[in-house]
Amino acid sequence: MPATIAVAGLAEKIGDLRRHIAKLSDEREAAFTESDKLTERLDELSKLEPKKLSAEQRAEIDDLPGQIADQEKLARIRSDEIRKENDKLAELLQRFDSRTEHNTQTERLQQSTGRHVPHGAQPQPGTTEPESRIVIAEPNQAQLSHGLANFIRIIANSNGTRSHMIELANDHGDELNARLMEAGDVAKGGALLPDPYVPLVIENLRPRTPIRQMGVTTGPLISGKLKLPKINSGTTATYTGERGPIGVTGMTTGSVSWSAKKLSAIVPVTNDLLAWSMPAADGLIRNDLFRAIAQAENGAFIRSDGSSDTPMGLRYLVAPANVIAAPGGVTLQDIETALTSLVLALEMANVDITSPGWLMNPRTWAFLASLRDGNGNFVYPELSQNRLKGFPAFKTTMVPANLGVGTDESEIYFLNAEDQVIAEDPRFRMEASSEAAYWDGVDMQSAFSNDETVIRVIAEHDFNTRYPESIAVMTGVTWGS
């Protein structure tokens, strides 16, 4: 009886906690809805001619940004509270499962032996029936990979409610996702990516995102913010005589801030791949997801100018003194001097170069890799090993090759990756629609007409550098054009 009471008590706590989480979710959604309404109102007023605005409308325009910020702040606070409560719920569910398993074994032992087993006693090995309740072990990498693809299928095929998502998972024998959906955050037709899948996504973004691959620092966004200290100038030491005064010296410090920027990545997936009968398509589904997020990150972290609520990329974070024009000549000496000047820019600024790396367009890479000296030897043979002048090198089309008046210029970056920081909220939100329209880079496409489901992935992060001097960029590079 005490064991039954303990299980009932846990079940009651789980129910109370779920109701509390649902209440927090409702409050968060209400804040999002109110923020959307206020934003629409601000957009509506902004379209009016300034001369025709009444005094009340002008006052409303002044007040609306603050009201929108308050609602967004409330939504973030509720999101943090929901995450903490979900952690508590996961712990309670684990205790509940453990207690239920123990009670099941105890009951079987009592039935098989006819003896009463005291509450809290452990059944002896070999005394239970062969059948036992299956306890899910910690999922391995293969299970997580398959589970992530199924998670996307659940989001795409459900009606947007938790109960339907759990039902879909159970119907297809996916106990892992059923449990994750049970404890997860589901709202507005989508769901937060469960915690076990987050490292899998981040790890798969790394080889697809040169900035991450270079070894940049990552940090957490706390309530959408992160602030790190930095040293603007260091202390100096001096020698003094026996009775000479000691010079008063000291360092000056500052700080660098990050604030959440919302990334929305669109992943169109053909409905054939989302069928449960297509487990062989798991890799295609996952790769489409990883590719969409990585492409958006690449563009933002390298060349975004920080406008329209986007992160500011390397090109606009670099110290002005470290922006170097490419030489007019293309002799081997010109090229060697130009590349060396990028390295010297960091060294002369006393940057502690612990994780250096190059970043360039594939066109520039191919040009440097094909250079030969007077004896026919390759000038930079180490590029075949993804290194240049002894440092790791990376190529990406997110470094453009169509800049400048003649649309034939590119850039080369040299940076100390450790000083570049991605601050991110690891909670990815995923939503799905089979009726949405999306831009494919050329035309608007209809998911319904194309027999597709559009997965929208929403993430929050920001990018900044602790030291602008840790970046150098060469502009006007036409090599290989």
User: What tokens were used for 10?
Assistant: 């846990």
Which pLDDT value is given to residue 1?
44
Paired with 266 in beta bridges are 456
Listed in sequence order, the DSSP H helices in 114-161 are: 141-157
**464-474 per-residue burial string, b: 16 or more CB within 10 A, e: under 16:** bbbbbbbbbbb
Whether residue 225 contacts residue 258, with contact meaning beta carbons closer than 8 Å, is answered with: yes
Strands 252-259 and 225-233: antiparallel
Q: What is the pLDDT of residue 467?
A: 92
Structure tokens at 322: 């470290």
pLDDT at residue 468, rounded to an integer: 95
Is 284:270 a contact under the CB 8 Å cutoff?
no
To 10 degrees, what angle do helices 141-157 and 162-171 make?
A: 130
The closest of 476, 478, 402, 465 to 214, measured between CA atoms, is 465
Closest listed residue to residue 474, CA positions, set 408, 413, 390 = 413
Q: Report the distance separating Cα 478 and Cα 411, nearest Å.
A: 9
Q: Is 245 exposed, middle or buried (0-12, 13-18, 19+ CB in 10 A)?
A: exposed
Q: Which two three-digit tokens encode residue 347?
A: 């060294």
Predicted local confidence at residue 477, as pLDDT: 97
- Give the Cβ contact number of residue 127 at 10 Å: 13
How far apart, in whole angstroms, are the C-alpha atoms of residue 310 and residue 437? 23
Quote the pLDDT of residue 402: 96
Assigned token pair, 101: 């398993």
pLDDT on residue 17: 78
Written as tens digits, the pLDDT of the chain (481 aa) is 444 445 556 667 777 777 888 788 778 778 877 877 887 788 788 778 888 888 888 888 888 888 888 887 887 788 778 778 877 877 777 776 665 555 445 444 444 444 444 444 444 444 443 333 334 456 777 778 888 888 888 888 887 778 888 888 888 888 888 888 877 777 655 778 888 888 888 878 877 889 999 999 988 887 788 877 766 555 455 555 666 655 545 555 567 888 889 888 888 888 887 776 566 677 777 888 888 888 888 889 999 998 888 899 999 999 999 999 999 889 999 999 999 999 999 999 999 999 999 999 999 999 999 999 999 999 999 999 999 999 999 999 999 999 999 999 999 999 999 999 999 887 788 888 888 888 877 889 898 898 888 888 888 899 999 999 999 999 999 999 8
Q: Are 289 and 267 in contact (CB under 8 A)?
A: yes
Strand 452-465 vs strand 420-433: parallel, antiparallel, or unpaired? antiparallel
Q: Where are the domains of the chain?
A: 1-118, 140-217+256-481
Write down the pTM of the prediction.
Answer: 0.63
**DSSP at 306:** S
Taking alpha carbons only, the member of 38, 28, 25 closest to residue 68 is: 38
State how far the Cα of 230 lies from the Cα of 256, in Å rounded to an integer.
7
**How does DSSP assign 13-61, residue by residue?**
HHHHHHHHHHHHHHHHHHHHHHHHHHHHHHHHHHTS-GGG--HHHHHHH
Q: What Cα–Cα distance (Å) separates residue 79 from each residue in 90, 295, 427, 430, 461?
A: 16, 27, 10, 15, 15
- How much is the pLDDT for 394? 96
pLDDT score, position 301: 93
Q: Does residue 261 sit in helix, strand or coil?
A: strand
